[in-house]
Chain A
Amino acid sequence: MITITMPALSPTMEEGKLAKWLVKEGDTVSAGDIIAEIETDKATMEYESIDDGIVGKLLVSEGQEAIKINAPIAVLLEAGEDKASLANFKAPAIQPAAAPKAASAEPAMAMKSDGAKSAMAASAYPAAAPVRTGSNARIAASPLARRLAAQKGLDLARITGSGPHGRIIKRDLESVQPMAAPAPGTAGAPSAKETALFAEGSYEIVAHTPMRKTIARRLTESKTTIPHFYLTIDCDLDALLEMRGKLNALSPKDAGAYKLSVNDFIIRASALALKRVPEAHASWTDAGLLRHKHADIGVAVSIDGGLITPIIRQADGMGLAEISNTMRDLAERARVRKLKPAEYEGGTFSISNLGMFGIREFSAVINPPHSMILAVGAGEQRPVVKNGALAIATQMSCTLSCDHRVVDGVLGAQFLNVFRGFIENPLTLML
């Protein structure tokens, strides 16, 4: 008998929802068959079986949420086994994460006695993401420290190790407060203290989705641990708009077609500016500054129920058309929640654009492990003074949020000026 367990589909994933079963009991399954769709904090992913067998029993029902990783979700019968052997199968207790008992986190090992195989190669985390603030995978820490961090919702990347060679040990965790981890239980039952402020019946409770919890956790972590400051600059867009019009008119009709947006120019300008001002292109870690070599630009995409930031990898090496088409593909797949973790984790810089909603300017929250995020406002015609005379120009205001641990004021200003240079002289984007 083979026990299939909840896979760890991303480094940040602690639990998931069984969105859909694609097999039913009695079905024959071969390695590689997709047996279920799992909804994680970020995306809905297809789950392939790595074993052959007959589905003996589905242990969780469709739509069940908060299934801890490694919790058994189904049993496969191997060749020669029949349903009778299921009678001896005792499913380890599965508790929704919110239930207090689950805190005693039945160790993953306990499941292996049933012949469980870790059913997914996905637990080998994608290698592409350069820094994984949210992941405790490659940090020197004792096994006990790792487990305690996972249980308490602590991010080991933010803890300084005091053990031999900077290894994080149990004691190092004792003084650290959890970073506003989504409190278990908030989904079903808000605490009495919070609800007491509102008359009963005057509200309805909407359970948090995994994505909502992740947004809450990561942004709280960002705003409470990263010293933010903000720089705003106005960029003339007329030259860029003109060039965009010409380029789009030149797009081939069939293969190689493109339709450039202003945002595509902003992505390329950001990537080139990061290369030009490498000091600003870095991430803070306690061990040292990570100076990035490739501009991996995250672009916030609003999707139903939240947002996600797919990454355009090595955008500094891409032309405008390639950026444009890559972005369109990522955004489309983000909206149907089909991104792979490697496509939205990591990154070195991010862009949030609310221009299409008429927002003039705003400040964004840095998306760790990045040290800067560019908040882009609407391009609009404004009265400006040029050569001593009033004139009309199309301008867009951009606000850069900086992690002061990495980027000081002058450095941030330098970056913004280089960025504006690319936007206002769009021909230089061709270089």
Chain B
Amino acid sequence: MAENSFDVAVIGSGPGGYVAAIRAAQLGLSVAIIERDQLGGICLNWGCIPTKALLRSAEVFHLAQHLDAFGLAADNVRFDAAKIVKRSRDVASRLNMGVKHLLKKNKVTVIEGAAALAGKGKISVTANGKAQDVTAKNIILATGARARQMPGLETDGKLVWSYREAMVPDAIPKSLLVVGSGAIGIEFASFYRTMGSDVTVVELLDRVLPVEDAEISALARKAFEKQGMKIHTGASVTGLSRGVDNVTAKIDLGGGKTETLGVARVIMAVGITGNVENLGLEAAGVKIEKSHVVVNEWCETGVPGVYAIGDLAGPPWLAHKASHEGVIAAERIAGLKGLHPMDKSNVPGCTYCMPQVASVGLTEAAAKAAGREVRVGRFPFAGNGKAIAMGETEGLVKTVFDAKTGELLGAHMIGAEVTELIQGYCVAKSLETTEAELMHTIFAHPTLSEMMHESVLDAYGRVIHF
């Protein structure tokens, strides 16, 4: 085999790309991965992981401010923004090294540079002005996505931030406007609010975290407002005028009302757009719709030998969805038997704000809209012993079942550690359990997970502790 010829070439090394590369290598294929920036992509360099590091600092800071509730005391609790940011960068850097190591261990060839399709089975990789050709029988496009820009509200890296600048602040701004209340917007809003910023959130839709169950959205909003966040829903930012070290935002509050808000910084978090440019996709015949590559359930683009996964291939824009698609694409290429397409209703979503939010499957409203007759169970954190002992009595575990078949249609949670709990329901959904098996399952006491049991019991009128 020629030096630059592979069974599989993966373009992009985020959680979709590097997982696809490792899986393909495990299956005995020769694999190259092409990355123009940092191994690990946005997720672990500028996304999921470093934000979790920041939020952990915020959480510890929050606890430190409430030590008295636990019978503890400390004077003069304060923080050093630079150190918080440094810790976050160190975490990212450590994981970046980890990916490098994993790729090496699996004998994946890493090629640095920007890739573009250049005819059937051919990729042109440009680095430092020099181009080289890579040939591959199969190509997996995994170039991800970037923050969406709004005309007039473009990020500038100084006053109006994208997630990227928001992750490495020089200091915690005194006041902050967050535009968009999806997972990214809300996580930053939560981080900065906890660190002391005056935070205002503007959301176009009628509730925060709009993909979540309406009941969870409402509880989240209540919790955020209690923390002192200002939230405008059904509202939009119509203009930003940038000063020297401040921004004045015009906000349309709906119903003919407007507001002018002066803030130190703005974070734009209004969705993402797929990285479809400069990849030679049009020439290759890869179909693009709304800035995303169109694929079938096997991540196939329709062009033989060309696959697309992750954010590039459309929502939900989640790292674990990308990784799962990466595995599907690699196994499809290797010709494995008995593969299953991904069931999007089994993809969990987590938001690491305070309190945390996590969900999988259909919301109650979506289930009803789909014509399902539902049974809904609820269990509040206030009824759980472990939650009370932890001092985390705010939250709810909600389950939605099909009344006819007992199928678990969805689970929706808000409260401490729910991002860790949701996996229990994911396993249940993936195994297609009904309420009966969940009821039969023994949940350890005392744990937060007992609420997951109780919520199921509640759906069938059998709740014990509430």
Per the 8 Å Cβ criterion, residues 374-413 of B in contact with A are 403-407
Bin chain B's interface residue count.
Answer: 20 to 34
Give chain B nearest CB distance to A293 CB in angstroms.
31
CA distance A113 to B458 in the complex (A): 12
CA distance A105 to B436 in the complex (A): 13
Contact A104 B436, CB 8 Å, known A113-B462, A147-B405, A147-B406: no
Q: Can you report 6 A-B residue pairs in the complex whose CB atoms are below 8 A from each other?
A: A107-B406, A109-B435, A109-B440, A143-B431, A164-B338, A169-B432
CA distance A104 to B437 in the complex (A): 18
Asked if B404 contacts A103 (CB within 8 A), the reply is: yes
Identify the closest chain B residue to A109 (Cβ).
B436
Contacts of B433 in A (CB 8 A): 142-144
From B338, B405, B440, B460, name the one whose CB has the most chain A CB atoms within 10 angstroms: B405
Asked if B436 contacts A143 (CB within 8 A), the reply is: yes
A428 within 8 A of B: no
B340 within 8 A of A: yes
Per the 8 Å Cβ criterion, residues 163-196 of A in contact with B are 163-164, 169-170
B279 within 8 A of A: no
B461 within 8 A of A: yes
A145 within 8 A of B: yes
CA distance A107 to B434 in the complex (A): 9
Per the 8 Å Cβ criterion, residues 229-245 of B in contact with A are none
Asked if B434 contacts A144 (CB within 8 A), the reply is: yes
Tell me what chain A mostly uses at the interface: helix, strand, loop, or mixed: helix
CA distance A148 to B432 in the complex (A): 11
Identify the closest chain B residue to A141 (Cβ).
B432
Give chain B nearest CB distance to A423 CB in angstroms.
49
B373 within 8 A of A: yes
A207 within 8 A of B: no
CA distance A146 to B403 in the complex (A): 16
Identify the closest chain B residue to A151 (Cβ).
B405
Contacts of A105 in B (CB 8 A): 404
Give chain A nearest CB distance to B360 CB in angstroms.
15
CA distance A148 to B460 in the complex (A): 19
From A147, A163, A169, name the one whose CB has the most chain B CB atoms within 10 angstroms: A147
B347 within 8 A of A: no
Tell me what chain B mostly uses at the interface: helix, strand, loop, or mixed: loop
Asked if B432 contacts A107 (CB within 8 A), the reply is: no
Per the 8 Å Cβ criterion, residues 213-235 of B in contact with A are none
A110 within 8 A of B: yes
Asked if A144 contacts B439 (CB within 8 A), the reply is: no
Contacts of A110 in B (CB 8 A): 460-462
Asked if A144 contacts B462 (CB within 8 A), the reply is: no
Contact of A143 among B373, B404, B437, B462 (CB under 8 A): B437
Per the 8 Å Cβ criterion, residues 408-465 of B in contact with A are 431-437, 439-440, 460-462
A162 within 8 A of B: yes
CA distance A148 to B324 in the complex (A): 28
Contacts of A104 in B (CB 8 A): 373, 403-404
Contacts of A143 in B (CB 8 A): 431-434, 436-437
Contact of B406 among A113, A144, A162, A163 (CB under 8 A): A144
CA distance A105 to B384 in the complex (A): 31
For the complex of A and B, the 9 pairs showing the least CB-CB separation, nearest first, are A142-B432, A144-B432, A109-B436, A143-B434, A113-B462, A143-B433, A104-B404, A143-B437, A144-B407
CA distance A210 to B403 in the complex (A): 27
Residue interface bits A127-164, CB-to-B below 8 A is 1, else 0: 00000000000000011110110010000000000111
We find that the number of chain A residues with CB closer than 8 angstroms to chain B is 20
A239 within 8 A of B: no
Asked if A151 contacts B434 (CB within 8 A), the reply is: no
A108 within 8 A of B: yes
Asked if A147 contacts B434 (CB within 8 A), the reply is: yes
Per the 8 Å Cβ criterion, residues 98-114 of A in contact with B are 103-105, 107-110, 113
Asked if A107 contacts B404 (CB within 8 A), the reply is: no
Contacts of A142 in B (CB 8 A): 431-433
Contacts of A163 in B (CB 8 A): 340
CA distance A148 to B433 in the complex (A): 12
Contacts of B461 in A (CB 8 A): 110, 113
Contacts of B431 in A (CB 8 A): 142-143
CA distance A163 to B437 in the complex (A): 19
Contacts of B405 in A (CB 8 A): 144, 147-148, 151
Give chain A nearest CB distance to B324 CB in angstroms.
15
CA distance A144 to B462 in the complex (A): 21
Identify the closest chain A residue to B401 (Cβ).
A107
Give chain A nearest CB distance to B435 CB in angstroms.
6
Asked if A107 contacts B435 (CB within 8 A), the reply is: yes
Contacts of A169 in B (CB 8 A): 432
CA distance A8 to B440 in the complex (A): 20
Residue interface bits B361-374, CB-to-A below 8 A is 1, else 0: 00000000000010
Asked if A162 contacts B460 (CB within 8 A), the reply is: no
Asked if B436 contacts A108 (CB within 8 A), the reply is: yes
CA distance A142 to B461 in the complex (A): 24
Asked if B340 contacts A145 (CB within 8 A), the reply is: no
CA distance A113 to B431 in the complex (A): 25
Per the 8 Å Cβ criterion, residues 320-346 of B in contact with A are 338, 340
Residue interface bits A31-75, CB-to-B below 8 A is 1, else 0: 000000000000000000000000000000000000000000000
Asked if A107 contacts B340 (CB within 8 A), the reply is: no
Give chain A nearest CB distance to B307 CB in angstroms.
22
Asked if A170 contacts B404 (CB within 8 A), the reply is: no
